[in-house]
Every structure is written in C-alpha cells, then in structure tokens.
C-alpha cells in the first residue's frame, strides 16, 4: 500500500529525514518510534503534503501513485489521512459542517452521491459513538476552545468519518491522560480493518499497550535504525533510545 524509499526531507534548508525506508501493507499497523528531533513529525507532514517541508530525494508510492507529486487534498481524497499532533483551531468554521464538506469531498472523488445534511447527521451520530464523543462537540467551531484531549479525539472522529485507507497518527497519544488515551485507542482499534493500514508515530510505548502494532520501527537522526515486531517497543522501553542507538551503531 505504502512504499517509502530513501526519503530525504527537511525544512528551511535543514535536512531532517536522511534516507527513510518502509513498506506498509494493507491490514498492518506500523509504529514509528523515536526521540525528539528524530524526524517523526517531518515524516507525517511530508506524507500529508505540508508545503513547509521540502523533499530533496527519494520516493513515496501510495497504491502505486507517486504521492509526492500530489496536492494535499488529492492525497486525502485518495485515502491518506493525517491525525495532527497539534490540531489547528479554526474559529468560525462549524465542526459538523466541516466534517460534512470533507466527507462529501471524499464521496464525490469516489464517484458517489454526496450526503445531504440529514443523511450526514445520522452518519455523524454513529461515528461519534465510535469515538465516545458527545454531540455538542460537532456544533462548536473546529477545535476552538477544545482541551488537548478533545482535539485528539476530534482527529479520530475525522478519521472515522473519512474512513481512510492509510492513517498516519502523529503523536496522537501525547498530552492525553490515561482515560483519554484509552478512549482514543479504543476508537482507533475499532477503525482497524484488513483493507486499511495505520502508521502510528509515537514517542512513548504506552499507547502500544492498547494498540498492537505488527511492526515497530525505531527512528533516529532521520532514518530507521532498527525494525522489529511488537516486542521491540517493550525492549525500547527497558533500554531507552540511547542504548538501542549504541547497539545498532547508529
């Protein structure tokens, strides 16, 4: 589904990703772990098409298409979804209207009929249950005045509504207390299917207690220094990033 080869990317002339490789197949959950500054968020933003970041080398194929040549909206319409580490507050834009616009944009791109407000209301109610969110949520402006946990839950609500093929979750666990983490993780687990894939970017192992990855990759200084199964996260938790780096000679 997703093939990343020798990806080099950075911001303002500073290279952050320095040869990132990964292959993600349908039905898989990949955890990308790494210390601060290792390039985790850069990877997420580059995949979503944030123009602040420049790709200097390498390729990214999503279902055989060159993702890097596509506009952010075209990536989204094709099924790529980024759950933001810091979701943006958008005053004056109603959450429900925004979700409906996004939902319909995706429907339209798939050649399906757009949902009218009433139809969408039913869909939204169902998705709200999935992420255990209150209906009041959707009548507020997008993320405005939301707590950290509410913002993250709103990202997962969007994921549920848009039903992406590839979801990149950028530190969705950061800033969440235990209860909120459980809710968010439950929501994510409900969205995992054999025909989609998740790249879970995280700093800590704790979310992996709730979501079981098929693969764990450790990122340091812009490239993967070690890959393994779910046990690698446990090993990492015990040893720490520095120790793993030393062992791999990175």
Cβ–Cβ < 8 Å for 29, 192: yes
Secondary structure percentages of the chain, helix, strand, coil, to 5: 40, 30, 30
Minimum CB distance to other proteins smaller for 85 or for 202:
85
Residue ranges in 107-166 that form contacts with other proteins under rule CB under 8 A: 109, 141, 158, 162
Question: How many residues at the interface with other proteins, by CB under 8 A?
Answer: 29
Contact between residue 23 and residue 46 where contact means Cβ atoms under 8 Å apart:
no
Cβ of residue 220: shortest distance to other proteins, in angstroms? Answer: 27
**Choices 56-64, 77-85, 202-210, 222-230 (CB under 8 A): range interacting with other proteins:** 77-85
The residue from 4, 38, 62, 84 that contacts other proteins (CB under 8 A) is: 84
Q: Are 216 and 232 in contact (CB under 8 A)?
A: yes
Which residues in 128-149 are b (16+ Cβ under 10 Å) and which e? bebbebeeebbebebbeebeeb
Which residues ranging from 166 to 225 are in contact with other proteins (CB under 8 A)?
none
For residue 2, what are its two tokens? 């997703």
E strand or H helix that includes residue 200: strand 197-202
Binding window for other proteins (CB under 8 A); candidates: 21-29, 82-90, 177-185, 239-247:
82-90
- When binding is defined by CB under 8 A, the residue of 24, 46, 82, 244 that contacts other proteins is 82
Binding test (CB under 8 A) with other proteins, winner from 52, 111, 178, 179: 52
The nearest distance, CB 167 to other proteins, in angstroms, is 12
* Cα–Cα nearest to 207, from 168, 165, 178: 178
Interface residue list for other proteins (CB under 8 A): 48-52, 71-73, 75-77, 81-82, 84, 87-88, 90-93, 98, 101-102, 105-106, 109, 141, 158, 162
């Amino acid at each position: 589904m997703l093939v990343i080869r020798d990806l080099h990317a950075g911001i303002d002339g500073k290279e952050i990703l320095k040869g990132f490789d990964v292959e993600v197949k349908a039905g898989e959950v990949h955890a990308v772990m790494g210390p601060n500054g290792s390039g985790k968020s850069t990877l997420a933003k580059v995949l979503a098409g944030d123009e602040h970041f420049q790709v200097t080398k390498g390729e990214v194929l999503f279902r055989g298409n060159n993702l890097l040549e596509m506009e952010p909206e075209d990536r989204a319409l094709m099924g790529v979804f980024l759950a933001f580490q810091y979701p943006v507050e958008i005053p004056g834009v109603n959450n429900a209207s925004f979700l409906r616009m996004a939902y319909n944009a995706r429907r339209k791109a798939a050649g399906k009929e757009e949902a009218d407000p009433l139809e969408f209301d039913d869909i939204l109610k169902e998705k709200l249950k999935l992420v255990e969110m209150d209906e009041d949520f959707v009548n507020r402006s997008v993320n405005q005045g939301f707590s950290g946990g509410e913002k993250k839950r709103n990202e997962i609500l969007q994921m549920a509504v848009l039903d992406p093929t590839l979801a990149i979750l950028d530190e969705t666990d950061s800033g969440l207390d235990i209860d909120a983490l459980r809710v968010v993780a439950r929501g994510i687990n409900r969205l995992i299917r054999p025909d989609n894939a998740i790249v879970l970017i995280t700093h800590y192992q704790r979310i992996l207690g709730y979501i079981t990855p098929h693969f764990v990759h450790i990122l340091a200084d812009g490239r993967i220094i070690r890959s393994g199964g779910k046990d690698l996260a446990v090993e990492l938790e015990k040893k720490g990033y520095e120790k793993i780096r030393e062992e791999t000679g990175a």
